[in-house]
């Protein structure tokens, strides 16, 4: 009833190939974008920007990156945080060492550097598959942050490898408040998400999916394995790299390579699993879920503790949080192994038929 494509006829090739062929989707997306670009900056508080919205968007970007590699091309990776680190440090160095380079170009160059590193670590994927590859990507996860700390040139010889990003300014316009930084991040993420959405249904995206579904068969029908797998690694690392640069410049301001540790990689992996493997929308849903869950859990535990006068110390609370987090992950996997994106799809099917399900 609410979600019906009946009567929407496609009369041109352009309409047939549209990114969002159903009118309700287009309206829904326009409403969401309008809300995100106009309503949220007017209404949200400083805390909301800094603690929730900006990291949520940045993690969405990283999750899209990992989803391209794992969800679309089927190469399981546990090293996404390392590629974020490369992006952050590279963007920092381009910004620092090339005077007058626009900051956006630094972000792009940071992403490209991450892509190059990603391709280097993607080379083993041509021979190694499945969990062997996953463990092999851990090599990147442990090696890259170590290298970034050890070679002090990367952090401009600061002690303990901390890099302090300069404030963002584009064409003399300073992005100095959280709301402005949020808008910048939102713009970048929206554009890159659109690009990803386009990419995964293009020739290269279909090649990735063919490799994911069965690589031998894909090779037999003439898909170039080397080219396909390495582009997946490159594009994925590019997204992660840009996310890392934004993480350093727009979110925290100063980061050290150790921040991009295995835990962060796991969190990004959780995002795509909870959100939905092989879905751009799922990347956003998963990022929102994993970013919000600890905050909500924290609030809930404090509230419960107050209610029943339980004197939690912070140690117990954080352990309890870990337990609930783990249990929820398992619960989610058991209830809907294909993630939130699948739930959304089921919801749409229901809305289509409602209120006459037969």
Interatomic CA distance for residues 48 and 179, integer angstroms: 10
Interatomic CA distance for residues 249 and 163, integer angstroms: 10
Q: How far is the CB of 311 from other proteins (least distance, A)?
A: 15
Residue whose CB is less far from other proteins, 50 or 318: 318
Q: How far is the CB of 208 from other proteins (least distance, A)?
A: 16
Interatomic CA distance for residues 22 and 29, integer angstroms: 11
Residue whose CB is less far from other proteins, 195 or 310: 310
DSSP label at residue 167: P
Q: Which two tokens stand for residue 20?
A: 């969002």
Contact region for other proteins (CB under 8 A) — 108-116, 181-189, 194-202, 330-338? Answer: 330-338
Contact region for other proteins (CB under 8 A) — 1-9, 31-39, 227-235, 311-319? Answer: 311-319
Q: Which of residues 161-200 bind other proteins (CB under 8 A)?
A: none
By CB under 8 A, tell whether 120 contacts other proteins: no
Residue tagged 């089927």 (tokens)? 74
Residue whose CB is less far from other proteins, 40 or 138: 138
Residue whose CB is less far from other proteins, 206 or 352: 206
DSSP label at residue 173: E
Residue whose CB is less far from other proteins, 38 or 322: 322
Contact region for other proteins (CB under 8 A) — 26-34, 35-43, 51-59, 323-331? Answer: 323-331
Longest CA–CA separation in the chain, Å: 69
Q: Which of 10, 97, 150, 166 binds other proteins (CB under 8 A)?
A: 150
Nearest to 170 by CA among 103, 249, 226: 103
By CB under 8 A, tell whether 24 contacts other proteins: no
Phi, psi dihedral angles at 277 (to 5 degrees) = -75, 130
By CB under 8 A, tell whether 320 contacts other proteins: yes
Q: Which of residues 31-90 bind other proteins (CB under 8 A)?
A: 70, 76
Encode 133-143: b = buried (16+ Cβ within 10 Å), e = exposed.
bbebbbebbee
Is the torsion defined by CA of 125, 127, 131, 137 positive or negative?
negative
- How many residues touch other proteins under the rule CB under 8 A: the total is 46
Burial class of 161 by CB neighbour count within 10 A (0 to 12, 13 to 18, 19+): buried
8 Å CB contact between 341 and 277: no
Would you give the distance in Å from CA 117 to the centre of its chain?
18
In the three-class reduction of DSSP (H, G, I as helix; E, B as strand; rest coil), residue 171 is classed as coil
Residue tagged 């994993």 (tokens)? 290
Q: Which of residues 213-232 bind other proteins (CB under 8 A)?
A: 214-217, 220
Residue whose CB is less far from other proteins, 64 or 140: 140
Contact region for other proteins (CB under 8 A) — 44-52, 126-134, 179-187, 188-196? Answer: 126-134
Burial class of 216 by CB neighbour count within 10 A (0 to 12, 13 to 18, 19+): exposed
Paired sense of beta strands 169-170 and 173-174, if any: antiparallel
Interface characters, 252-271, with other proteins (x: CB under 8 A) = ----------x---x--xx-
Contact region for other proteins (CB under 8 A) — 44-52, 133-141, 189-197, 349-357? Answer: 133-141
CA atoms within 13 A on the CB side of 123: 6
By CB under 8 A, tell whether 305 contacts other proteins: no
By CB under 8 A, tell whether 326 contacts other proteins: yes
Nearest to 88 by CA among 150, 192, 162, 158: 162
Q: Which of 27, 35, 98, 135 binds other proteins (CB under 8 A)?
A: 135
Q: Which of 4, 25, 36, 129 binds other proteins (CB under 8 A)?
A: 129
Report the interface residues with other proteins, using CB under 8 A.
70, 76, 124, 127-132, 134-136, 138-139, 142-143, 146, 150, 214-217, 220, 262, 266, 269-270, 273, 277, 315-316, 319-330, 333-334, 337
């Amino acid at each position: 009833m609410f979600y019906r494509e009946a009567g929407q006829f496609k009369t041109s090739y352009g309409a047939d190939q549209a990114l969002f062929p159903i009118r309700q989707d287009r309206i829904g997306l326009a409403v969401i974008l309008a809300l995100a670009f106009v309503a949220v900056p007017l209404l949200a508080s400083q805390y909301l920007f800094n603690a929730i919205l900006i990291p949520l968007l940045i993690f969405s970007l990283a999750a899209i990156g990992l989803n391209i590699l794992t969800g679309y091309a089927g190469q399981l990776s546990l090293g996404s945080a390392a590629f974020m680190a490369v992006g952050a440090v590279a963007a920092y160095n381009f910004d620092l060492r090339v005077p007058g380079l626009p900051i956006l170009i630094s972000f792009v160059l940071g992403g490209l550097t991450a892509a190059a590193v990603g391709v280097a670590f993607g080379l083993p994927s041509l021979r190694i598959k499945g969990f062997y590859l996953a463990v092999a990507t851990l090599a990147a996860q442990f090696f890259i942050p170590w290298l970034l700390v050890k070679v002090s040139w990367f952090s401009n010889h600061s002690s303990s490898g901390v890099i302090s990003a300069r404030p963002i300014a584009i064409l003399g316009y300073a992005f100095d408040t959280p709301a402005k930084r949020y808008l910048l991040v939102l713009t970048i993420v929206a554009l890159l998400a659109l690009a990803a959405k386009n990419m995964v249904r293009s020739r290269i995206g279909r090649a990735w999916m063919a490799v994911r579904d069965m690589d031998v068969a894909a090779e037999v029908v003439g898909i170039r394995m080397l080219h396909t797998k390495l582009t997946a690694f490159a594009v994925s690392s590019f997204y992660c790299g840009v996310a890392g640069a934004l993480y350093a410049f727009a979110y925290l301001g100063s980061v050290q390579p150790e921040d991009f540790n295995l835990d962060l990689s796991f969190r990004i992996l959780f995002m795509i699993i909870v959100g939905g493997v092989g879905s751009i929308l799922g990347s956003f849903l998963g990022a929102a879920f994993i970013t919000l869950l600890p905050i909500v859990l924290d609030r809930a535990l404090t509230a419960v503790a107050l209610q029943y006068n339980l004197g939690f110390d912070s140690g117990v609370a954080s352990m309890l949080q870990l337990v609930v987090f783990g249990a929820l992950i398992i619960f989610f996997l058991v209830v809907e192994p294909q993630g939130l994106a699948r739930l959304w799809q089921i919801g749409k099917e229901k809305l289509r038929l409602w209120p006459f399900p037969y």
